[in-house]
């Protein structure tokens, strides 16, 4: 049985397995990076000490807070990266319906991030 003789359902199942692998790998990488940054920030906070922090200092002047902030931001951006991976995969597979769905989700996420930033 050649590739062209397979029913379309089998190709879709095979494609679903590869997209699940890509998405789980992306989730694992993003979560690992963000947790590493957060733990590094907490370690930096423990090493530098809390007693040196004054009440009137902005958080962007504390290196530990900056590191924790970037780790949390990476964790927040994980779903966006997942949608981008799905969009690329569906576009390469020429699956127009799911590519349009992924693109609309990406636009919606972008609008939500923009409104949270500017409002």
Q: Which residues contact 34 (CB under 8 A, 6 or more apart)?
A: 71, 72, 73, 74, 75, 78
d(CA 52, CA 97): 56
The model carries a pTM of 0.63
Identify whether the C-beta of residue 109 lies closer than 8 Å to the C-beta of residue 79: yes
Q: pLDDT of 39-67, one tens digit each?
A: 888 888 788 766 666 666 666 667 777 88
Question: Exposed/middle/buried for 68, CB within 10 Å: 0-12, 13-18, 19+?
Answer: buried
What is the DSSP track for 10-47?
HHHHHHHHHHHHHHHHHHHHHHHHHHHHHHHHHHHHHH
Q: pLDDT of 78-108, one tens digit each?
A: 888 888 988 988 888 888 999 999 999 999 9
d(CA 118, CA 113): 9
Identify whether the C-beta of residue 24 lies closer than 8 Å to the C-beta of residue 59: no
d(CA 65, CA 48): 11
């Amino acid at each position: 049985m050649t590739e062209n003789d397979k029913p379309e359902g089998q190709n879709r199942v095979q494609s679903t397995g590869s997209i699940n692998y890509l998405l789980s790998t992306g989730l694992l990488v993003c979560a690992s990076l963000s947790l590493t940054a957060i733990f590094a920030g907490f370690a930096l906070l423990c090493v530098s000490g809390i007693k040196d922090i004054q009440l009137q200092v902005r958080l962007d002047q504390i290196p530990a807070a900056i590191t924790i902030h970037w780790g949390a931001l990476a964790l927040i951006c994980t779903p966006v990266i997942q949608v981008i991976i799905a969009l690329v995969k569906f576009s390469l597979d020429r699956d127009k319906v799911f590519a349009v769905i992924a693109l609309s989700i990406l636009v919606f996420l972008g609008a939500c991030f923009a409104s949270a930033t500017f409002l």
